[in-house]
Amino acid sequence: MKKFIVGVMAISALFVCSWTQAAELRDDHPEFHIVQPGDTLWDISEAFLKSPWLWPEIWHVNEQVDNPHLIFPGDVLALVYIDGQPRITKTNRLPNGTVKLSPQVRELSRGQAITTIPLDAILPFLVSARVVSEEELQHAPYVVAGDEGRLANAADNKVYVRGIIEPEVSKFAFYRRGETYIDPDTGEELGVEALHLGAGVKIRSGDPSTIRIEDSVAEVLRGDRIWPTNDEQLRPYYFPHAPTSEVDATIISVYDGVIQIGQYDVVVINRGERDGIEVGHVLTVHQRGKQVEDPYAKDNKNVNEDGSVKRFFKALVNSKDTVTLPDEEAGTMMIFRTFDKVSLGLVLKAQRPLHVMDKAKTPY
């Protein structure tokens, strides 16, 4: 509960901070929008704004009501002007001018509010994604054996685990070593991906403890690691916003092993909490410029700066002149999970195919 309150306070702070960018309306923006089931805040913001991450600048709420920033299906959003500036606000007036009558008591839970992005696209990663250091992996509790001598264990099987130092914890998730993330710019090891195998509950404490596997997406083997699960991560509230400082990151991995990255794919970037990356940061993805052969450079004095000796040796080894094309803006992503040195982002839009090694930068 404490984490939820802190999260809401952080989100609310975004609405009162000063932005260096001005929210600019789309040319084809609507005057009203009736919120439908399945809408996301990102979709609505895209309908009104050229830069959807600037929604906090244009959103106008009644601070006297509970949870004023939450939007529910059925709400009517209207574009109004306050002191000459465009604002989006809730209204009870429908686009045709009639007044929408609402019950005097409207009991809606936070869970019924629209989400900022499609929650089903990131929910598995909120629950299971984990990046750890080599030391954390080495010293994590581990499966020493399966019940009845089983080598591979699945749902409803029992396994025996050593190294649990939090006796009050009862719910755990199983993991196995995955990819080691390396910074392509510095060569630094950024962490190890922990592959999620399933979840279980402790039914007997001791050394070893006994854990019953409740669900599994892969077989649990000897040597696999476990960590406590965190139920508070199941229903987070995100709000997209631009970083306040320059971010120059690189996509270093993509989940599900796809080659071409598209909308709603989850990627890993080589920047994390230590670099100031926050949940909700929106980054522009730039397709890295290719290196292409330039057969015309050698004959153009304005391009070719090689001396005669260098040109001779290049010809001797049949070295070709090349040029690196500029990076091109190709999409938008939002950070939804951060670790110390890396972060996970959801691709919200891809104008062209994205790839590992493409850049992710502060939007302008």
Distance CA 183, CA 174 (A): 26
Q: Which pLDDT belongs to residue 328? A: 94
Name the domain boundary from 197, 232, 267: 232
Asked if residue 6 is part of any domain, the answer here is: no
Asked if residue 310 is part of any domain, the answer here is: yes
Q: Which residue is associated with the tokens 């001779």?
A: 312
| Statement to judge: residues 252 and 342 lie in one domain | yes
Asked if residue 299 is part of any domain, the answer here is: yes
| Statement to judge: residues 222 and 169 lie in one domain | yes
Q: Which pLDDT belongs to residue 116? A: 81
Asked if residue 347 is part of any domain, the answer here is: yes
Asked if residue 113 is part of any domain, the answer here is: no
Residues in the chain, overall count: 364
Question: Which stretches in the chain have pLDDT values below 50?
Answer: 1-20, 103-106, 234
| Statement to judge: residues 80 and 145 lie in one domain | no
Tokens standing for residue 345: 């982002």
Torsion of CA 39, 41, 43, 47, to 10 degrees: 120
Asked if residue 2 is part of any domain, the answer here is: no
| Statement to judge: residues 25 and 77 lie in one domain | yes
| Statement to judge: residues 152 and 204 lie in one domain | yes
Torsion of CA 115, 119, 120, 124, to 10 degrees: -160
Q: Which pLDDT belongs to residue 62? A: 63
Asked if residue 252 is part of any domain, the answer here is: yes
Distance CA 324, CA 9 (A): 45
| Statement to judge: residues 191 and 145 lie in one domain | yes
Q: The domain containing residue 270 runs over which residues?
A: 248-290+326-361
Q: Which pLDDT belongs to residue 103? A: 46
| Statement to judge: residues 146 and 157 lie in one domain | yes
| Statement to judge: residues 252 and 220 lie in one domain | no
| Statement to judge: residues 272 and 285 lie in one domain | yes
Asked if residue 46 is part of any domain, the answer here is: yes
| Statement to judge: residues 257 and 349 lie in one domain | yes
Which residues, at least 6 apart from 127, have a Cβ–Cβ distance to it below 8 Å? Answer: 229, 233, 234
Counting the structural domains of the chain, the total is 4
Q: What is the 3-state secondary structure (H, E, C) of the chain?
A: CHHHHHHHHHHHHHHHCCCCCCCCECCCCCCEEECCCCCCHHHHHHHHECCHHHHHHHECCCCCCCCCCCCCCCCEEEEEEECCEEEEEEECECCCCCECCCCCCCCCCHHHCCCCCCHHHHHHHHHHCEEECHHHHHHCCEEEEEHHHCCCECCCCEEEEECCCCCCCCEEEEEEEEEEEECCCCCCEEEEEEEEEEEEEEEECCCCEEEEEEEECCCECCCCEEEECCHHHCCCCCCCECCCCCCEEEEEEEHHHCCCECCCCEEEECCCHHHCCCCCEEEEEEECCCEEECCCHHHCCCCCCCCHHHHHHHHHCCCCCEEECCCEEEEEEEEEEECCCCEEEEEEEECCCECCCCEEECCC
| Statement to judge: residues 296 and 286 lie in one domain | no
User: For residue 182, which amino acid is it?
Assistant: I
| Statement to judge: residues 57 and 81 lie in one domain | yes
Distance CA 41, CA 47 (A): 10
CA atoms within 13 A on the CB side of 40: 16
